[in-house]
Amino acid sequence: MEKDKQQQIRELAEQMQHAANPDQQNLARGTLELLEYVDELVLALYNATETCCEAMSLVYEGSLRTES
């Protein structure tokens, strides 16, 4: 999801938390929790990808040494 859209959704959910309607408050809280979870997943995916790339580089460097 684009950062701008995600930020807009986050801002709307924060505003909805103060709504008089309890259903809107619950929806807003759930939306914010979901956005936090998505942020954590994206960070975990980034870290896993970075680690995988580092491991692949090490394997490649090792294969170059054994060929020499």
Report whether 16 contacts 24 (CB < 8 A): yes
pTM recorded for the entire structure = 0.70
Mean pLDDT for the chain overall: 90
Report whether 48 contacts 57 (CB < 8 A): no
User: pLDDT tens digits, residue range 28-47?
Assistant: 999 999 999 999 999 999 99
Q: How many domains does the chain have?
A: 1
Residue 3 pLDDT more than 60? yes
Q: How confident is the model at residue 66 (pLDDT cuts 50, 70, 90)?
A: confident
| Residue span of the structural domain in which 61 resides | 3-67
* R_g over Cα of the chain: 21
Q: Which residues contact 19 (CB under 8 A, 6 or more apart)?
A: 25, 28
Q: What percent of the chain has pLDDT over 90?
A: 53
Report whether 14 contacts 29 (CB < 8 A): no
